[in-house]
């Protein structure tokens, strides 16, 4: 009797494992095919030597990493990346706070405003970048036509070719496409704040500014943290905006690490797939540092709340 029960239990356990594998199989296959296999191939490519046609010639060891670290434009690219990410992040958070506050109020046309804010998020980044290229064009751009007609400038401004305006133009477009996600995350955070808290603050004589700084912002901190961390990852990896707007400019003067990696393989004098892969490994490590920092902050907050 005991042997029969044991055999039945083992059979049930195997059946349970089979059902579990059946449900988890597609997700595991997707993770292996989309995450693990490309990661392994990236590391393999970063330690390999390739011909100009992309054929693997053999192992290169750590030579590709050394060449990336010794690249003369690496410091410029890193500085551009810090400026790009920090500026877009700060502008998107500040502007989105105002947008979220506005969209949380009851007024005529609120639904239309919410639809208008979300449109840039729904559009393709490449299409958006190409649209802004037309708007900022030196010869035929609408923005230059408006500035000339208003008498603000005497000659057209080369927004995408002049070193003084290229990065600010990229930051402006990057902020525009980041606003929808950020604004809606903060709007969700605002909707999660109970009205009773504001009512109690008004009864205690708190001014609107005091209510905003002492109630809204502290209670909005989880949403701000999520928006900040995800935007860092999103903006850091924003290839279409940076590449499309900066494609006409030679060299790496306005590139970030993500476009630097692409140009190393296809558009620079190096034409090195191995160097590009090594730069890609560095990019992944930077993203992992941000994610681990986010997880650590989250765990600290949960421990504090407990």
**What's the pLDDT tens digit per position in 37-85?**
888 888 888 888 887 777 778 787 888 899 888 889 899 999 999 999 9
Cα(54)–Cα(185) distance, integer angstroms: 42
Cα(243)–Cα(237) distance, integer angstroms: 11
R_g of the chain computed on alpha carbons: 26
pLDDT, residue 230, reads 87
Closest Cα to residue 215, out of 181, 244, 177, 189?
189
pLDDT, residue 27, reads 84
The structural domains of the chain, with segments of one domain joined by +, span: 17-73+255-306, 74-231
Q: Are 65 and 273 in contact (CB under 8 A)?
A: no
- pTM of the entire predicted model: 0.82
Mean model confidence pLDDT for the chain:
84
Mean pLDDT for 183-187 is 92
CATH of domain 74-231: 1.10.3720.10
Instruction: Give the confidence band of 303 by pLDDT, cuts at 50, 70, 90.
Output: very low
| Residue linked to tokens 């989309």 | 34
CB atoms within 10 A of CB 89: 22
């Amino acid at each position: 009797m005991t042997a029969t029960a044991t055999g039945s239990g083992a059979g049930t356990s195997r059946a349970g494992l089979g059902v579990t594998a059946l449900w988890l199989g597609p997700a595991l296959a997707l993770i292996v095919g989309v995450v693990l296999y490309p990661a392994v191939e990236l590391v393999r490519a970063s330690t390999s030597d390739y011909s100009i046609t992309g054929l693997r010639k053999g192992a290169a060891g750590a030579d590709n990493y050394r060449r990336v670290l010794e690249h003369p434009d690496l410091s410029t690219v890193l500085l551009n990346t810090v400026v790009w990410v920090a500026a877009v992040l700060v502008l998107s958070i500040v502007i989105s706070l105002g947008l979220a506050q506005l969209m949380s109020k009851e007024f005529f046309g609120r639904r239309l405003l919410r639809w208008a804010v979300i449109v840039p998020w729904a559009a393709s980044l490449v299409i958006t970048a190409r649209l802004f290229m037309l708007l900022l064009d030196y010869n035929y751009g609408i923005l230059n036509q408006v500035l000339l007609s208003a008498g603000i400038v005497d000659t057209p401004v080369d927004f995408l070719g002049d070193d003084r305006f290229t990065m600010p133009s990229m930051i402006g477009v990057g902020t525009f496409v980041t606003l929808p996600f950020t604004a809606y995350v903060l709007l969700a955070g605002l909707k999660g704040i109970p009205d009773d808290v504001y009512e109690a603050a008004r009864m205690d004589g708190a001014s609107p500014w005091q209510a905003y700084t002492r109630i809204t912002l502290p209670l909005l901190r989880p949403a701000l943290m999520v928006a900040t961390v995800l935007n860092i990852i999103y903006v850091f990896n924003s290839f279409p905006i940076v590449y499309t707007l900066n494609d006409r400019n030679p060299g790496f003067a306005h590139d970030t690490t993500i476009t630097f990696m692409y140009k190393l393989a296809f558009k620079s004098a190096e034409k090195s797939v191995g160097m590009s892969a090594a730069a890609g490994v560095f990019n992944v490590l930077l993203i992992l540092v941000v994610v681990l920092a986010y997880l650590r902050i989250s765990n600290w907050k949960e421990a504090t709340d407990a």
